[in-house]
Amino acid sequence: MSLNPPIVNLKDVRSRELGLEITELFSLITAATYDLLVKIREFDQAGLWEGEGLCSCAHWLNWQCGIGMNAGREKVRVANALGELPKISEAFRMGEISFSKVRAITRVATPESQDYLLMIARHGTAHHVESLVRGYRRSVKLSEPESAEQQFNERSFDYHWNDDGSLVFKGRLPAEVGAMLMKAIESSIDHAEKDITAVTSESPRHCERSEAISQRRADAIAEIAESYLASGPASSSSADRYQVMVHVTADTSEESAHIENGPHVTAVTSKRICCDTSISKMIEDEKGEPLSIGRKTRVIPPAMRRALKARDKQCRFPGCTHTHFIDGHHIKHWSEGGETSLRNLVQLCRHHHRLVHEGGFRCSKNEEGRVEFRNKNGELIELNGNSTPRYRGNVIAELQNQLEDRHIHALSCVSQWDGERMDLDMAVSGLWHLHESRDDLPVI
C-alpha cells in the first residue's frame, strides 16, 4: 500500500512566509521609529532647529525630512510625551506596540495609568486604543463646568481647495452662534422656496425642489455671502476712496489717457490735471496689472498685492509653509531707494518678516536675480534644505546594533486580541478610576 505524499499548497506557504516577513519588518520599523523620536525630542528640547530661523521643530522636519506639517507636529508631541512615560517608552523601544497606538495613548497617559493603557494596547488593536482614548476625552470634556467657555475658545473655521477647484470647509461654533447660522441658512432657503412658488404657482407640483437639503444649504451659504459682500463695509481706505486716478501711458496720442474706471481724456486735459497734483509713476502689464509704482509710496496697491500673491503663493523663506498673515517685503528697502515693484517684492510671513528686519537675517537677490536668505552668521540658507547631504553610516550601524540587542521578532508588534468585543464603557471607567485623584486630567 503506497502512501500519497501530502499536497502542499504553495500559496498558503508563501502567505505565511510573507506575512511573517511583513510583521517582522514592521516591528523593526516600529523600534526604529522609537529611536527617531528620541533624537527628535533632543533636537526639539535643545532648540537646535532655531538656527535656521524656522518657526518650530515641525517646520524643520517638514523642510529637511519631507514630513507633512501635521505629521511633524504629532511626532514632536509624541516624542516629548514619551519622556514622561518610561513604561510606554520601553514597550515602544522593544517594538511591542505600534506608533499608532503610542500616538493615541500619549494623549491621555499619565505615569499612574501606563500599565492599564499598555494592557489595552497589547491585547487590543489600534482601533480599540483610539476608541478608548476618544471615549475618555469625551467624558472628561462633558464633565467640565467650563464647557461653554471651552466651546467659545475652540471655535474655528478651516478650509482647503480640492483638486477639482471646489471649496471644502469645516467649522466648530459655540451653540448659540451655530443656531444663529442655521437660522440664517433656513431663512435663505425659505426665501428661495417663496421665489420658486411665486414663479410656478399655477402648478403646485412644480414647487417641489429636486435638490438634496445639503445642496440647498450650500446655495443658502452662497446667498448669505453675496448679500454681505453687496452691503458690507468698503475695504479701501478713505484716502484711496476719494482719490481720482488718471492713467497716462507712454503713448502721447489724444486717446492714451483715461480716468480710472471712467472715460478717456485728452492729453491737454491730462497735462492740466497733472499741473497741481502728485504724480505716481506706474508700469502695468498688458492686462492692466501694476508691475511697478516707482518711488512715490511704499504701500503696495491691491492689484500688485494680488499679483505678488499669485507669484509667491506663500512665505518665500526656506522651509516655511505659511499662507496666511503674509506681508509684502521690499528686498531693497524703500528708505534705501528700493521701488515698490514686483521685482523688488517678496512675500514673508510675520515671523520671518520680523527676523529679516530685526532678527539679524538678510534677504537679497544674487547676480542671477534669485532671492536668497542668510542667517545671523551670514550663511546661505538653501531653498531645498541641506545642499551637501552626507551618508552617515555610523547612524545606520548604531541602529542595527540596537535592534539586534532588543531581540525583535516577527510577532513582537502583533496584538493579543482574539476577537472578543471591547466593553468601551468599562474601559473608560477603568481609566477614570486611575485618573480621578488627579487635578490635572490629561485632555490633550
Q: What is the pTM of this model?
A: 0.54
- Listed by start position, the domains of the chain span 10-143+406-435, 167-231, 295-381
C-alpha cell at 82: 514619551
- Rounded distance between C-alpha atoms, residue 283 and residue 404, angstroms: 68
Residue with cell 474655528: 156
Q: Which amino acid is at 273?
A: I
Shortest CA distance to 95 belongs to which of 22, 23, 19, 30? 30
**DSSP symbol at 50:** G
Reference 322, options 75, 67, 54; nearest CA is 54
Q: How do the pLDDT tens digits run along the chain, 444 residues long?
A: 556 666 667 777 888 888 887 887 887 888 889 989 999 999 999 988 887 788 889 988 988 888 888 999 999 999 999 999 999 999 998 888 889 999 999 999 999 999 999 998 888 888 889 989 988 888 777 666 666 677 778 889 998 888 888 889 899 887 667 777 888 888 888 877 766 555 444 444 444 455 788 888 888 888 888 888 777 664 444 344 334 555 655 554 444 565 554 555 555 455 444 444 455 555 565 655 555 555 555 677 888 888 888 888 888 888 787 888 888 888 888 767 778 888 888 999 888 888 888 788 888 888 888 888 988 888 888 765 554 445 455 655 666 666 666 666 555 555 656 566 777 778 788 887 777 655 554 444
CA 444 – CA 137 distance, rounded (Å) = 8
Q: What are the angstrom distances between the C-alpha of 59 and each of 320, 342, 360, 378?
A: 7, 27, 20, 21
20, 9 in Cβ contact below 8 A?
no
